[in-house]
Chain A
Amino acid sequence: MKQAGKYLFRYKKYGLLRHLSHLETMKMIERLLRRTGLKFEQTQGFHQRMKLSFAQALPTGIIDLAGLFIASTFEVIDDPFVIKANSLSPNGLEIVRAEKVESSFKLSKALEGYEFKIVFLETPPLDLDGEVEEVNDIWVVRTFRPFNSSVPKNGEFGQFLTVRSKAILSEVQVD
């Protein structure tokens, strides 16, 4: 039997959508993909759903510029598809791109971790590891968190904003 193509999607979630929980984000993305009309691989069992696998969950309130998920389909996903998806997407959710990966690709193996930007309106606390940058009385601390380790929560360090800015992947094997 022919195997469906596996795609790695990158998305951004910002603005008021940062207040969505991980489950709400997953549901929002699944419904967006359903609106495109493209057939994606489904889970097995009685209650069939789209088979999507998301990378690490993010606590509510964090801006996500480095969202990742994997979906499989027999159809071709190209730039026009991404444009179509974005036209059907709520404000604040954007699919950045989708790339085909090998069928053996697993996010849990490829994802090394994330870079976070923690934004302060006053001098950041000293116990927060990372590179500090200051422009016009705004401090940004860049910090790396390995995959599946704890992530900075909103307000944890008295910060103004938290951004998951980059996903660090070992080289993605494009099919």
Chain B
Amino acid sequence: MNVLKKLVSVLDEVRKPSRYIGNEYNSIHKKNSDVNLCLVFPDLYDIGMSHFGMAILYDVVNSSNFASCERSYLPWVDMQGAMLKNDIPLYSLESYKPLNEFDVVGFTLQYEMSYPNVLRALRLSNIPLHNSDRSESDPIVIAGGPCTVNFSPMEKFIDAFLIGDGEEAVLEMLETMRNGKREEKLKNLSKIEGVYVPKHSKRVSKRVVKEMPSAPRAQIVPYTNIIHDRGIVEILRGCTHGCRFCQAGMIYRPVRERSANEVYEISRDVARLTGHEEISLLSLSSADHTQIGDMTSQLKSLKEVSISIPSTRVDALSVEVANAVSGVRKSGITLAPEAGSQRLRDVINKGISENQIYEALEHAKNSGWSRVKLYFMLGLPTETDEDVMAIGEMLQKAKHMGFKNVSATLGIFIPKPHTPFQFAPQIGIEEAYRRYKLIGWAHKYAKINFTDPQKSVIEGVLSRGGNEVSQVIEMAEKRDLIFADWNEMFNPQEWFKIFDECEIKLKDVISEKDGNYEFPWEHVDVGISKGYFWMEYQRALKGILTPDCREKCTGCGVCPNFKVKNVLKGKRAPEIIPAGGEMI
């Protein structure tokens, strides 16, 4: 079946129809494959097309000689209504084929608030929501992405989870699904490293690729103005600073760098093959790349594109890197001190001193940046009112340094699975507002954006919950609590009503846990033991810093457990402490 004919009459009635037309330049229309996969980003096209993970897997699968890959995104509510009215199921943007006609449907779980969107996508595709209700004629529904490190809340809905890097595993998974009955396929899937099949698996260890894999160059060029409308080159994966709140820093270990030469070649090709005006260098912390100086100077010779780097750390080197790629147009620089006081920055292991922050700001100011945006978190473990006040003081100082515009984003800290802070409590809604009000006086120095603490509590439950949360997700989808990250669609009261009805005790979920507490994610092994996380949590409470493992191995266990090591292009990685060896 092909929904194109029906689609034509519908597209005139919806907002931004270019999201739904597919057939973008560089999209691949592969016919006659043994097994076909439709990757679904469970959010609007504008967001999903900005996500690079899906672009990588699209390229990997379509480059294989046996499998094909297409894409789909969750349509906005007006389009969903029009599709239901005209009996159009959710379809792929390549062949306009309904999702339930694919062999495999794969979701990427990037953020917890998108869970109800996954169910809505299944519903629009006429695929049974529960894995137990699926039959031979239904696709196998798989999921990957960072949220799978605690897949329990989604276990009821997904047939197989892939934890960790997908480049190699996705082909192995598709290979097992070329032939055979559903049950046989699921059994075989459960034998693949990194894959968890709820029906057959007991434990799972994440999948790791040893080196940076090949990168997509002929990237799809969207028609719609998407969130990040530019070419992307991943320059390094993983981060070893060891910030204790950061899930990405823990679950994507070890660091794997791409050489400066390769980054140059890929950037050149991406520019030529897409026509993009801008290329963004993607990583968790670009200034850490051991060849970053070489890289930025090589990239300067690409005259036809501008290069951008999402800055995250706040040190002079990051500012230097931002300077190197920005050219003459220096509008805004984004830096992330995360906490206002030095005491609290030591608790979170940020590894940056007060002096370094002001040096970085001074350097940014002198280099011509007129606007600065600072990221902080509220409610970090051990945070006191003085720590909160220190955020205001930093904003005041930044303004007095002469920046034309200072803005700050205050997120609420959510203790994430597989981090040293998984044991820590999350502050409640009222407490979050109380602390926010403490720096009310700083509004005259900076524009302060405050994340809705209600959303943070919901996100906290979805990210830390177990199987019991699946009922909440199911009810949320039924009550139209989809696109929860979009302010106009967010309805916290309804969410809290559902938590009540499902007897989820919010206070219990977000309370502090001790070292013996059994988390729902214990059967997922990301390479770092619970003991290491507990030790790191204890060091945090004492304000003891742990070094970056590019300087000295801290014994987290990832490298010996997965027989990998940090791949640094510009220097030698330090000796690894063997498994079971003494941690730092």
Enumerate chain A interface residues (CB-CB to B < 8 A).
16-17, 19-21, 23-24, 27-28, 30-35, 37, 46-47, 49, 60-61, 88-92, 154-155
B436–chain A nearest beta-carbon distance, Å: 35
**Chain A residue nearest to B26 in the complex (CB):** A90
B interface secondary structure, majority = loop
A34 touches B329 (CB 8 A): no
Interface residues as binary, B66-107 with A (CB distance below 8 Å gives 1, 0 otherwise):
000000000000000000000000000000000000000000
A28 touches B329 (CB 8 A): no
> Which of B15-23, B394-402, B462-470 is near enough to bind chain A?
B15-23
Shortest 5 CB-CB contacts between residues of A and residues of B: A31-B275, A34-B275, A46-B329, A19-B17, A16-B21
Complex CA distance for A92 and B223, rounded to whole angstroms: 12
Query: Which one of B12, B18, B23, B275 lies within 8 Å of A91 (CB-CB)?
Result: B23
User: Given the known A-B contacts A47-B329, A90-B25, are A20 and B275 also in contact in the complex, defined by CB atoms under 8 Å?
Assistant: no
A21: which B residues are within 8 A, CB to CB? 16, 18
B residues 12-38 near A (Cβ < 8 Å) are: 12, 16-18, 21-25
B17 touches A60 (CB 8 A): yes
B24: which A residues are within 8 A, CB to CB? 90
B221 touches A31 (CB 8 A): yes
Query: Which one of A31, A46, A47, A60 lies within 8 Å of B274 (CB-CB)?
Result: A31
B221: which A residues are within 8 A, CB to CB? 28, 31, 90
A24 touches B224 (CB 8 A): yes
A69–chain B nearest beta-carbon distance, Å: 16
13 A-B pairs whose Cβ atoms sit less than 8 Å apart in the complex: A16-B21, A17-B223, A19-B21, A24-B18, A24-B224, A28-B221, A31-B221, A31-B277, A35-B272, A37-B272, A60-B17, A90-B221, A91-B23
**Chain A residue nearest to B20 in the complex (CB):** A19
Complex CA distance for A57 and B213, rounded to whole angstroms: 44
Interface contacts beyond A16-B21, A24-B18, A37-B272: sample of 18 additional A-B pairs, CB < 8 Å, sorted by A: A16-B11, A17-B21, A17-B223, A19-B12, A24-B225, A28-B25, A31-B221, A31-B274, A32-B25, A34-B275, A34-B276, A34-B277, A49-B277, A61-B17, A89-B25, A90-B25, A90-B223, A155-B12
A47: which B residues are within 8 A, CB to CB? 329
Complex CA distance for A10 and B18, rounded to whole angstroms: 22
A23: which B residues are within 8 A, CB to CB? 225
B274 touches A90 (CB 8 A): no
Query: Does any Cβ of A come within 8 Å of B304's Cβ?
Result: yes
Complex CA distance for A16 and B328, rounded to whole angstroms: 39
A35: which B residues are within 8 A, CB to CB? 272-275
Enumerate chain B interface residues (CB-CB to A < 8 A).
11-12, 16-18, 21-25, 221, 223-225, 271-277, 304, 328-329
A37: which B residues are within 8 A, CB to CB? 272
B12 touches A61 (CB 8 A): yes
**Chain A residue nearest to B15 in the complex (CB):** A60
A17: which B residues are within 8 A, CB to CB? 21, 223
**Chain B residue nearest to A28 in the complex (CB):** B223
A33: which B residues are within 8 A, CB to CB? 275
A25–chain B nearest beta-carbon distance, Å: 8
B279–chain A nearest beta-carbon distance, Å: 12
Complex CA distance for A48 and B274, rounded to whole angstroms: 18
B224: which A residues are within 8 A, CB to CB? 24
A92: which B residues are within 8 A, CB to CB? 23
A30 touches B12 (CB 8 A): no
Complex CA distance for A32 and B55, rounded to whole angstroms: 20
B276: which A residues are within 8 A, CB to CB? 31, 34
A90 touches B277 (CB 8 A): no
B328: which A residues are within 8 A, CB to CB? 46
Query: Which one of B12, B223, B329 lies within 8 Å of A154 (CB-CB)?
Result: B12
B304 touches A34 (CB 8 A): yes
User: Given the known A-B contacts A17-B21, A19-B11, A90-B25, are A32 and B275 also in contact in the complex, defined by CB atoms under 8 Å?
Assistant: yes
